[in-house]
Amino acid sequence: MSTVFVDTNVLLYALDESEPDKQPLADAWIRRLWERRAGRISVQVLQDFYVNAIGLDPGLAPTEARVEVEAFAAWNPITNDSSLLRSAWEIEDRAGFSFWDSLIVAAAQRAGCDVLLTEDLQDGQVVDGLTVVDPFRHAPESILETPARDPVV
């Protein structure tokens, strides 16, 4: 079974009523990851989620957003430290991603994930054994039922 690192945009789409095509798909992904205990996240994602969740229209009240963040803390968030920062710089230089995307990739790698769920990078792209999956192009079962991939060196 795959371990999946979830980017902020997926968490936000699960709440965003102004995105009727994406909201049910994002919600399905989040529900399946909870059921399978296969979701991973970072403190960066939680911070970004909190700020943007209260800014949605309609957004969450700060107290509601904090409850959501606390719940996602069960996904063993990766914390930012100087080692993660250096890893992100290496990815940024090698892959040409933005710094913030590189930090997400580095956190997903540190979490031991083989899948990064995001719409911000190219679907199907593999970065050091981490496969990018666009949650709006794949059903959760098509990824979660697939055996974990061997890392590519």
76, part of any domain: yes
86, part of any domain: yes
Number of Cβ atoms within 10 Å of the Cβ of 24: 12
40, part of any domain: yes
Stretches in the chain below the pLDDT threshold 50: 148-153
74, part of any domain: yes
In 3D, which of 1, 27, 3 has the Cα closest to residue 115?
A: 3
pLDDT for res 78: 98
Cα 115 to Cα 46, 118, 125, 144: the distances in Å are 18, 9, 10, 9
Structural domain count, the chain = 1
Backbone angles phi, psi at 92, to 5 degrees: -55, -45
pLDDT in tens, 55-84: 988 889 999 999 999 999 999 999 999 999
**Which pair of structure tokens corresponds to residue 84?**
């993660």
151, part of any domain: no
Rounded to 10 degrees, the C-alpha dihedral 119/97/110/134 comes to 10
pLDDT for res 153: 32
pLDDT for res 70: 97
152, part of any domain: no
- Could you list the residue range(s) of the whole structural domain that residue 26 is in? 4-144
pLDDT for res 58: 84
pTM reported for the whole predicted model: 0.91
CATH code of the domain in which 125 resides = 3.40.50.1010
